[in-house]
Structure 1
Amino acid sequence: MQLSNQTALITGGCSGLGHATAKALVAAGANVVLLDLNESLGAQRVAELGEDNTLFVRTDVTQQLDVEAALDKAYARFGAITVCVNCAGIAPAGRMLDRAGNPASLEDFSKTININLIGTFNVCRLVAASMAGNDLNDESRGVIINTASIAGYEGQIGQTAYAASKAGIIGLTLPMARDLAPLGIRVNSIAPGVMGTPLLTAMPQNVQDALSANVPNPKRLGFPEEFASLALHIIQNGYINGETIRLDGALRMPPK
């Protein structure tokens, strides 16, 4: 799939991995629709990326009506959606039992699963229904990329909720790709390691250095631009389907 004049829907598109992907897509000639909750940041991103090819829609990915409204606005502005990149998510931490022996919060666990896993599934199912109506172009009607994590394979201490949500995304990838294959819609996931998103780069340097020390090569945090580069390659390489690709510098997460 060539990117010029394509339209991409990006959840969590105003910051971190989503923002980097939006910038790369716009640079490649695509239109982008940013789905996020932060309206002030959304307006800033539209100004940065260009009003002619960028649209922001305030969206809660867990809500069907929100996502349906965003799809309608995207279609009205740019026409058919052919790319979806799901980056929206949260990463709370908490042990199963705290120091006083109190059990982990069920509310926090449910919220993480709801946003990271169910929110991703909600967007996928609705965008797939939209893509199914696209014209078939070189055996393709669209491509969906979800954001997993290496925590989905090697969750650390305190990551039960986050790891479970990302393992769920990994588990969705192949069956969803198989479900949508007859329609010409590909589904893949990227499993990043420790990435230099604003959340991590705002941490003290000694914390960043400790995270980088476990990465075999290159011994640093990943760049959001590297996530974006991989996302663009997946979009353009029509034979990548049903795969979760690690992006982690050969890191295998230790227990803590």
Structure 2
Amino acid sequence: MQIQGHSAIVTGGGSGMGAATARMLAGCGARVALLDVNRGAAATVAQEIGGIAIGCDVSDAGSVESALAEARAQHGAARIAVNCAGVATAGRIVGRDGPLDLAAFKRVIDVNLVGTFNVLRLAAFGMSALDPLEGGERGVIVNTASVAAFEGQIGQAAYAASKGGVVSLALPAAREFARFGVRVMTIAPGLIATPMLLGMPQEVQDSLSASVPFPNRLGDPSEYALLVRHIVENAMLNGEVIRLDGAIRMQPR
């Protein structure tokens, strides 16, 4: 599916991989709605690219329903949806102060997994009612997992579990939506230079960069966006998870 002329929604569009994806889509001629719990951050990017910013908590059903309705009213029904919203809360299952707080675990699951599913279900519902394009395609949804889904480190139990759920969601969703011509793909990034990583001390960033076999550096959010572009444009990509990680395999700690 070509990007130009279509409407797109990007969650987590105010920063990092979401912002890079929004810029790429707008640069390819899409009408982009940026959904983010931090509406101010999304508005800054939206103003830059000529998109719209909508405050949205992806873990809340009503919030996403309202956000998609607003995006549809301004841009028309979306044929492209990219899920980049996420949180990372570190904590051992059993630490020095006792077991991990259950509310902290649930919050990560709610945002990363339930939030992804929430946007997926509503975006796919909207796409399923659209007229098919050439080849029968109606839309494409790209979800974001992580290499932690496969090699979760100590202290990443909640994050790894949430991203493992996102990985497992790709194939059954793609199979279910095949009759509508809606594709579902998942990207599992490795170490990407997002605000979360760039906020770490320089020595930590250097250590993380050194752990990537090649290229021997942190990934750039624009490289994530470039992969999103290829997924959208390549109709044979469906129901799969692509690692974007420079061949890294995470160690236990």
**Same topology, TM > 0.5:** yes
Supply the distance in 1 between the matched residues of 2:113 and 2:43 (Cα, whole angstroms).
27
Q: Give the Å deviation of 1:99.
A: 2.2
Supply the distance in 1 between the matched residues of 2:139 and 2:202 (Cα, whole angstroms).
41
Q: Give the Å deviation of 1:190.
A: 0.1
Amino acid of the structure 2 residue aligned with 1:250: A
The Cα offsets for residues 140-185 of structure 1, whole Å up to 9 and x where unpaired, read as: 0000000000000000010000000000000000000001001000
Kept in 1, the 8 Å contact 2:142–2:187? The answer is yes
The Cα offsets for residues 60-87 of structure 1, whole Å up to 9 and x where unpaired, read as: 1111211111111111111121000000
Q: Give the Å deviation of 1:103.
A: 0.7
Supply the distance in 2 between the matched residues of 1:113 and 1:121 (Cα, whole angstroms).
11
Query: Which stretch of structure 1 is more off in the superposition, 160-169 or 60-69?
Result: 60-69
Q: Give the Å deviation of 1:43.
A: 2.3
Q: Give the Å deviation of 1:98.
A: 1.3
Q: Give the Å deviation of 1:2.
A: 0.7
1:144 aligned to which of 141, 146, 149: 141
1:134 aligned to which of 126, 130, 147: 130
Q: Give the Å deviation of 1:197.
A: 0.6
2:13 alignment counterpart: 13
TM-score in terms of structure 2 length:
0.98
1:161-240 to 2 correspondence within 5 Å? 161-240=158-237
1:29 and 2:29 are equivalent in the alignment: yes
Supply the distance in 2 between the matched residues of 1:164 and 1:14 (Cα, whole angstroms).
25
* RMSD (Å) for aligned C-alpha atoms: 0.9
Amino acid of the structure 2 residue aligned with 1:23: R
2:117 alignment counterpart: 121
1:244 and 2:216 are equivalent in the alignment: no
Supply the distance in 2 between the matched residues of 1:66 and 1:85 (Cα, whole angstroms).
17
2:80 aligned to which of 75, 79, 83: 83
2:45 alignment counterpart: 45
1:106 alignment counterpart: 102
Q: Give the Å deviation of 1:42.
A: 2.4
Q: Give the Å deviation of 1:57.
A: 1.0
2:59 aligned to which of 41, 57, 62: 62
Amino acid of the structure 2 residue aligned with 1:20: A
Query: Which stretch of structure 1 is more off in the superposition, 158-167 or 5-14?
Result: 5-14
Kept in 1, the 8 Å contact 2:9–2:33? The answer is yes
Supply the distance in 1 between the matched residues of 2:159 and 2:199 (Cα, whole angstroms).
20
Q: 5+ unaligned residues in a row in structure 1: which ranges? A: none
TM-score in terms of structure 1 length:
0.97
List 4+ stretches of structure 1 deviating above 3 A: none
Q: 5+ unaligned residues in a row in structure 2: which ranges? A: none
Identity of aligned residues (%): 52
**Number of residue pairs aligned between Structure 1 and Structure 2:** 252
Aligned partner of residue 44 in structure 2, secondary structure: helix
